[in-house]
Amino acid sequence: MMENLLKNSIKTLIPYTPKEITNVIRLDANENNYGSRLLNQKLTKALMEVNINQYPDTDCTQLRGMLAKGLMVSEEELLIGCGSDQLIVMLLNAFIDKGDKIVTSSPTFSMYKISNQIAGGETIEVPLSQDFEFDYYAFIKAIKKENPKLVFITNPNNPTGGVIPREQIIKIIEHSNAIVVVDEAYHEFYKESVMDLTSYYPNLVVLRTLSKAYGLAGARIGYSVASKELTGLIKRVKPPYNVSSLDQAAARVCLDNKPLFDGIIEEIILQRERLTKELSKLEAVKVYKSFGNFLLVRYGKATELYNYLLEKGIVIRYFGGGGALENCLRISIGTAEENTILLGVLGDYFGIENKGASLKQAVNCVI
């Protein structure tokens, strides 16, 4: 009955519903499993100093100052969101009227399309190649034909791990009248960035997050960098007090301890290369080159393997049947020990004996 009252655009919406699973090795959400546990004492101290009876600083002044200094941009070019998810919503709320278009590629991070549907916009998806390479010519063609208000590029892309060369991003910005959003959620595992271009292109916005490399997914901190003019436009729809004071304090502790995370990031990259190498030895498994903190693989019996790992206490991401991601599984890069366990379990599944044990020895040298 009440369903009839829903907005039309929501009636067909399939919501993004993260799985709640405990007591397992979680390799399904591209989190940082080294986590911020290492900072627990410092976090506890910082949180105890928060005046929780007061509303938070709506502009995240201190945190924005720290980020601006580290990124060498001005504070007026920075906005902080409750996760970069919220910045995606803010961009859509600011620019998308009913029926307006966004262009993005497919498969990619699903929240652009979901949030756009909620906003009432239309999403034009440009398929990646069969090998999940970015199809630059098709993308440019779509932009010219569809005249979108927003373009979303994910670099590195989730869930494929692939990247788009800087020159192609520049051409996309130059060929479009739209706001071009480059989502660099996984930048730290790739290193290349177009953030420096925000001072040349007033219609470019770069999104980043502390959820991945900085192990702060639970605190929900994302940020955008764009020209002062564009930042001002996005800020018009920023909800007041959108980042809690607890989250702001946690983020400040995190940034104060950046060198610790720099080491963790390098370890995750090493682990990604280790998993890529080991999984590539399995003939039945196709491993896609990844520049993120995850690997996408294709395997004929993906459902069976997913369930086998789940039984053994390891949860990865299965995208379900059908479409471009048919039989694909995404494995987030865990800690060295977790990866050793994963490889051992995979070794058992694929009938390769003692793989886990020999890798465990190798790992002891890496940590």
Ligand X SMILES: Cc1ncc(COP(=O)(O)O)c(C=O)c1O
Determine if 305 is a binding residue for ligand X (CB under 6 A).
no
Q: What are phi and psi of 206, to 5 degrees?
A: -110, 130
Q: For residue 328, what are the CA distances in angstroms to 57, 299, 303?
A: 43, 6, 9
Whether residue 98 contacts residue 77, with contact meaning beta carbons closer than 8 Å, is answered with no
Q: Is 247 in the site for ligand X (CB under 6 A)?
A: no
36 contributes a contact to ligand X by CB under 6 A:
no
The answer to whether 242 contacts ligand X (rule: CB under 6 A) is: no
Q: Which of 105, 117, 123, 158 binds ligand X (CB under 6 A)?
A: 158
Nearer to ligand X (CB atom), residue 217 or residue 250: 217
The tokens 């991945």 sit on which residue?
212
What is each CA distance from 322 to 95, 107, 325, 328, 332, in whole angstroms? Answer: 32, 12, 7, 10, 22
161 binds ligand X, rule: CB under 6 A: no
Least distance from ligand X to the Cβ atom of residue 30, Å: 5
Interacting span for ligand X (CB under 6 A) from 80-88, 99-107, 131-139, 312-320 = 80-88
Among 25, 43, 143, 183, binds ligand X (CB under 6 A): 183
By rule CB under 6 A, what string of x and - marks binding of each residue 104-143 to ligand X? -----x----------------------------------
Span 137-156, contacts to ligand X by CB under 6 A: 154
Residue 224 binds ligand X, judged by CB under 6 A? no
Q: Binder to ligand X among 209, 227, 293, 340 (CB under 6 A)? A: 209
Q: Is the dihedral of CA 173, 194, 180, 200 positive or negative?
A: negative
**Which of 96, 341 has the CB closer to ligand X?**
96
C-beta of 108 vs 339, nearer to ligand X? 108
- Examine residue 188 and tell whether it contacts ligand X (CB under 6 A): no
What are the start-end ranges of the E strands in the chain? 25-26, 78-82, 101-106, 122-127, 150-154, 179-183, 204-209, 221-226, 285-287, 294-299, 314-315, 317-318, 328-332
| Of the residues 30, 227, 231, 242, which one makes contact with ligand X according to CB under 6 A | 30
Give the neighbor-by-neighbor strand order of the sheet with 285-287. Answer: 285-287, 294-299, 328-332, 317-318
The least CB distance from residue 283 to ligand X, in Å, is 30
C-beta closer to ligand X: residue 244 or 280: 244
Q: CB-wise, 85 or 338, nearer to ligand X?
A: 85
Alpha helix locations (H) across 7-150? Answer: 8-11, 40-48, 61-71, 83-95, 111-119, 136-146
The DSSP bridge partners found for residue 182 are 153, 206
Cα 312 from Cα 298, distance rounded (Å)? 20
The residue ranges that bind ligand X (CB under 6 A) are 30, 83-85, 109, 154, 158, 183, 185, 209, 211, 217, 222
